[in-house]
Amino acid sequence: MTIEVKVAQAKAHLSELLSKVEAGEDVVISRGNEPVARLVRIENRQERIAAIEALRAERARHKPVSIEEIFEFRDEGRRWK
């Protein structure tokens, strides 16, 4: 779940927001209506980085895929072909 707060709210309730982040929630801090920052648990970020690295390693073990092949994969099974 993502919590959205304004900068002033984040400043006033930082400890509470950090507790929520530790519990697994993401916090988006906005200035006006524009999001400017996201607070996430460090472990979640590290897990995401590890997943991306694993995906890259797996991808490196296979031959490159052409744009045409990507479109074929996307369109496979579509009725309008």
Give 30's pLDDT tier (boundaries 50, 70, 90): very high
The answer to whether residue 43 scores a pLDDT higher than 70 is: yes
The residue-averaged pLDDT of 70-78 equals: 87
Top CATH class of 2-75 equals alpha beta
* pLDDT, position 18: 94
Q: Which strand (E) or helix (H) includes residue 12?
A: helix 7-12
All structural domains of the chain with their residue ranges: 2-75
Does the pTM exceed 0.85? Answer: no
- Scanning the chain, the segments in alpha helix (DSSP H) are 7-12, 14-22, 42-60, 67-75
